[in-house]
Structure 1
Amino acid sequence: MTRSEEFTGIPGVAPRTAAPGTARTANDAHATTRGGAEPPGTQPPPSDFFAVAAVSYAATVSSPSDGDLWPSAWADDGGLYAACGDGLGFSDGPWSDIVVNRIDGDPATGLTGQRLASGRDVAPVWTDPARFNSKPTGMVAVDGDGDGRDELYLAVQDLRCGASPDTFNAAPAAGIVRSRDYGRTWTAPERAMFTDEFTTVMFLDFGQSNTGAAVLRGAVAPGDADPAGYVYAYGLDHNWRTSYSGVVPDPQDLYLARVPAASVMDRASWEFFSGLAPDGVPSWSPRLADRVAVLTDTRRVGTAAPVPMAPPPVPGSVLAQGGIVYNPGLARYLYTSWTEYTFEFYEAPAPWGPWRPFLSHDFGPFPWSGPRSAEPRHGGYATTIPSKFLSADGRDAWVQSNWFVGASTYGGSSYHFSLRPLRLDPMPAPGTAGPAHLAEPADGNLATAPGTRAIATACRSGRIEVLNDGRTDRAEDSWNGLVKDTEYWGYTWPGPVRLERLEFTSGPHDYGSGWFDGPPQVQVRRGADWTAVPATVDPPYPADWTATGTRTYTFTVAPQIGTGVRLVGRAGGWAGYTSVSELAVFGARPGTGDGGRMAP
């Protein structure tokens, strides 16, 4: 997005109003729960597929590029093709609303790129060019014409631009453009293929040349068309993310479509997912009106009351333009969405679901610190996972996202093709032992076992490693500017562990906040469920400022087996956060029991 189009510090943010002629709905007024925390909304049940899901607090890989969005496709020639919005791409050429690029290299060795085409040479503006311009939303590489070479298909939308409260808040039209020469020249339809609905089109990334679509052959009825001959795409209605001005409804439903690879630009060839037959086989309809959402999530973030002296929150829905990728190593589909301050990730066993949330990562409000800062911490928008950079076992992935609002010159931003690591470890089957690498450390502290991931509701500086670095001279706190009903500090492991003791060391002396308003609860994770377990605390937890000052409290429970543990409570004090300098987890006291070993 262009810097000149910022409003009140965030692009396209204006006082929310109902769209003309529409009734006021739950999208327009948001009730809050006790203490003004976030309302729950309607969402799918949480996923129990991953034991560990952890994303970096900042981008760790940059590139010599400029722009945002970056939907990408891995073509048969080995190149990763990606389109950016509002930037220069991989060049020092003129600015454009849309630029197509080829990217080479990988996160380990570095990334280089080449600008291929831009502006109206890529896509027209189907709506009023004075008020709208082109933005890329999805890309796929596939040999649809059978000539032995991939074509590139790029989904583009008309997005509101200019100096208006509605800038970035409406996307009334979308279409697909095609390149037969790997991104250098493009052909576009005369008219938009989609209007108002399905206008944020995100192609399902099935890997190089769409070859992964063959995995769907087992999900069709005998005699049906070969699913490997199709391209699959997801769509959002009305806008690419929350419509902050309220000129159109916010996206709360994700839809799925398919189209033969030979006729991607033929609107009449598109079919929309319309439900599952009793035998679980998906149904498709050429009528957009027959479609059924594969994911509905009505949650809103940023609706809680701010703590004193915090910036006002930015309310928004949780479904937005990101990416959907098939991860063959884990046999899972991943949808990476986002909000102004959070990442919202979902997983499913099939393109049509059921989709379930597996990670919500809070980066806190602006100002963020850029990738060149000593303590970088920033989220971003348009989150995607390029299939080209997935590890063979699927456990290591790279998330692309962008951010620039409030970035400092010194710390930099991620307004370029940038990547950060995502670690995914599947949940082991009940009753199985953990992976071999999860060995008990010599001191018995399971918080330092290989594969351990620290978790928190929020982490002000992004230094989550403070929890298990063995030091008490460094601390973190959970401030994110919002009143929170509960918060936690803890760990997840890629396999089950046996534990019975936690040693929690608080942060430094703090008279405003930094403590729990009562003894925190110990919760152990089994599957997707976090279960409270009785605990004794020594010394007694005072629930006031005297709990701070790097004091250590030992929580003892009956022996437990699980893949995660956390201390949960409500923040005390006026500033709305807790602090921690160390959290150790032990199986059994030295010389007793079999604490810390894998569950049978």
Structure 2
Amino acid sequence: MRIVSLFFALVLGFIAALGQNRRVQEAKVWPSQVPANCPIDKSKKLAGLAFTGRYTSYSNADTWYPSWGSDGRLYSPFTDGNVTGLDINGKEVTVKAFSGGKAAVVGHAIITGDDPMHLTITEPGLIAGNPAPYGGRYPCASLYKDGIWYIGTYALNNASYGLNWPICGPFAGFHISKDNGKTWIVSPLSCKPEKGLFPEPTALNGPIKFGVPHVVDFGKNMENTPDGKMYMVAHGSLQKDQEDRKANLSWITGDQIYLCRVTPSPETVNDVKAYEYFGGRTATGNDIWTNDLSQAKPILDWNNTCGGATITYNKPLKKYLMCVTNGGNTQSMYDSYILESNNITGPWKMVTYMKNFGTQAYFLNIPSKFISPDGRSFWLCYSANWENQMGKNYASIPAGGSYSMTLQQVLLLTSKEAAKMPVLEVEK
């Protein structure tokens, strides 16, 4: 019996290897088109992404940031759309979330399954949160740790020049659930949009460093955090956004990327005194951490080219991977790029710059649950083509991107590997 079982295991392994080899052979490299003014050095180790052609999507909503719980499930917010899933009794239900206006609600759901191509969404629900004095309140920071679910929100405002939520407001703290989303302790009054968790300007067009923070993905139950702390990465700007567009601070555009950290607990995540901010480096190269937000320094500074940012720790490679989206004028095609570093504070190196990716992809992140054992393959999670909801009819490049939780399998390449692979045809 053991011999038969071993035989079938070898056969299945051989079949899986054949399938993987075929996907590698069929994969195509996204051509990296780094702008001439890029201040970031190219990576010496990694030099591109290849898309295998395997993709899938779930729901008709965006803003998915899965956090890997100790129970093996993924926990994520969502918004601005419909999500159909199973309730706790196994009955199919549809939940609609919309984050604009006084009746704004943030969606949340649990994602089960180990195969990205065959996942199940369960227990979708809603959290109400008035955005006043701003026009919208959207989910961002997402963490499930030791059985406690934290979902953070941030504020946004539109402007007379008509672009999509071009004024980024403050981070409004965390909602907290201790029963997997059945009930929520909403963020306290001290963190609401009129003030924000962090001591940043509260003017409706003021400069913001931590307007759209995202929790760094350290793996299952945050098992790979270097010091037990939750880190958050965010894009911002040192200038206020104005009618003449001299500054660049919206939900998907910015000038810098910042980093902060806190030991996560229900008592600390909404306590600004518990946070530290990356404050640059000493003359000998050691990281500086400060409790003074005014002393926070960016981990990346690229004027008008930063935007929505997420970081995942790739344990097999012992590297951090950062996804950044430059959202143009917010109503346009977007560029996204991938950076790598041995340290969470950098220095960061360019892996690939994907012009017009998605074709309008945003909120890119790399769920650590789906990183391969060798670290060289993973699944990009993103939403795309939101303007198609209004009849724009953008093409999906690569195929599969949609206004949903899109999952796209990619291969992380060295320069030699990238040079030998066929190139994906994209819009220039």
Normalised by the length of structure 2, the TM-score is: 0.72
Q: Which one has the bigger helix percentage?
A: 2
Measure, in 1, the Cα distance between the counterparts of 2:54 and 2:242.
Answer: 26
Quote the residue 2:110 is aligned against.
102
Which segments of 5 or more consecutive residues in structure 1 lack a partner in the other structure? Answer: 1-36, 144-149, 217-226, 299-316, 365-376, 428-433, 439-445, 461-478, 481-600
Alpha carbons of 1:137 and 1:182: their partners in 2 closer, same or farther (altered >3 Å)?
Answer: same
* CA drift at 1:245: 7.6
Measure, in 1, the Cα distance between the counterparts of 2:53 and 2:402.
Answer: 9
Contact 1:60 1:421 in 2 (8 A): yes
Q: 1:176 aligns with which of 174, 177, 198?
A: 174
Give per-residue Cα distances to partners, 1:407-435, cap 9 Å, x unaligned: 389998611111111211457xxxxxx9x
* CA drift at 1:115: 4.1
Measure, in 2, the Cα distance between the counterparts of 1:409 and 1:355.
Answer: 31
Alpha carbons of 1:154 and 1:66: their partners in 2 closer, same or farther (altered >3 Å)?
Answer: same
Correspondence list, 1:226-241, <5 A = 227-228=227-228, 230-237=229-236
Quote the residue 1:389 is aligned against.
370
Opposite residue 184 of structure 1, the aligned amino acid is K
Query: Are residues 1:142 and 2:145 paired?
Result: yes
Give per-residue Cα distances to partners, 1:62-113, cap 9 Å, x unaligned: 22x1211211211112110111121123452334322111111244551210
Measure, in 1, the Cα distance between the counterparts of 2:323 and 2:394.
Answer: 27
Alpha carbons of 1:162 and 1:59: their partners in 2 closer, same or farther (altered >3 Å)?
Answer: farther
Larger radius of gyration: 1
Q: 1:69 aligns with which of 63, 72, 80?
A: 63
Quote the residue 2:204 is aligned against.
none
Correspondence list, 1:453-532, <5 A = 453-455=421-423, 459-460=425-426, 480=428
Question: After TM superposition, what 4+ stretches of structure 1 lie above 6 angstroms from structure 2?
Answer: 242-245, 408-412
Which secondary structure state, in structure 2, belongs to the residue aligned with residue 165 of structure 1?
A: coil
Opposite residue 277 of structure 1, the aligned amino acid is T
Contact 2:209 2:258 in 1 (8 A): no
Opposite residue 180 of structure 1, the aligned amino acid is K
Which secondary structure state, in structure 1, belongs to the residue aligned with residue 132 of structure 2?
A: coil
Question: Whose relative contact order is higher, 1 or 2, with alpha carbons under 8 Å and at least 6 apart?
Answer: 2
Contact 1:83 1:100 in 2 (8 A): yes
* CA drift at 1:232: 0.8
Quote the residue 1:344 is aligned against.
337
Alpha carbons of 1:89 and 1:245: their partners in 2 closer, same or farther (altered >3 Å)?
Answer: farther
Which secondary structure state, in structure 1, belongs to the residue aligned with residue 66 of structure 2?
A: strand
Alpha carbons of 1:415 and 1:109: their partners in 2 closer, same or farther (altered >3 Å)?
Answer: closer
Opposite residue 396 of structure 1, the aligned amino acid is S
Give per-residue Cα distances to partners, 1:518-548, cap 9 Å, x unaligned: xxxxxxxxxxxxxxxxxxxxxxxxxxxxxxx
Which segments of 5 or more consecutive residues in structure 2 lack a partner in the other structure? Answer: 1-32, 86-93, 100-105, 201-207, 327-332
* CA drift at 1:381: 0.9
Measure, in 2, the Cα distance between the counterparts of 1:295 and 1:332.
Answer: 17
Contact 1:336 1:384 in 2 (8 A): yes
Measure, in 2, the Cα distance between the counterparts of 1:49 and 1:244.
Answer: 42
Measure, in 2, the Cα distance between the counterparts of 1:90 and 1:134.
Answer: 22
Alpha carbons of 1:280 and 1:89: their partners in 2 closer, same or farther (altered >3 Å)?
Answer: farther
Quote the residue 2:311 is aligned against.
324
Alpha carbons of 1:270 and 1:415: their partners in 2 closer, same or farther (altered >3 Å)?
Answer: same
Opposite residue 336 of structure 1, the aligned amino acid is C
Correspondence list, 1:520-599, <5 A = none
Alpha carbons of 1:253 and 1:363: their partners in 2 closer, same or farther (altered >3 Å)?
Answer: closer
Give per-residue Cα distances to partners, 1:286-328, cap 9 Å, x unaligned: 0001111111123xxxxxxxxxxxxxxxxxx332214210000
Give per-residue Cα distances to partners, 1:478-497, cap 9 Å, x unaligned: x52xxxxxxxxxxxxxxxxx
Alpha carbons of 1:166 and 1:109: their partners in 2 closer, same or farther (altered >3 Å)?
Answer: closer
Correspondence list, 1:407-426, <5 A = 407=393, 414-425=402-413
Query: Are residues 1:193 and 2:197 paired?
Result: yes
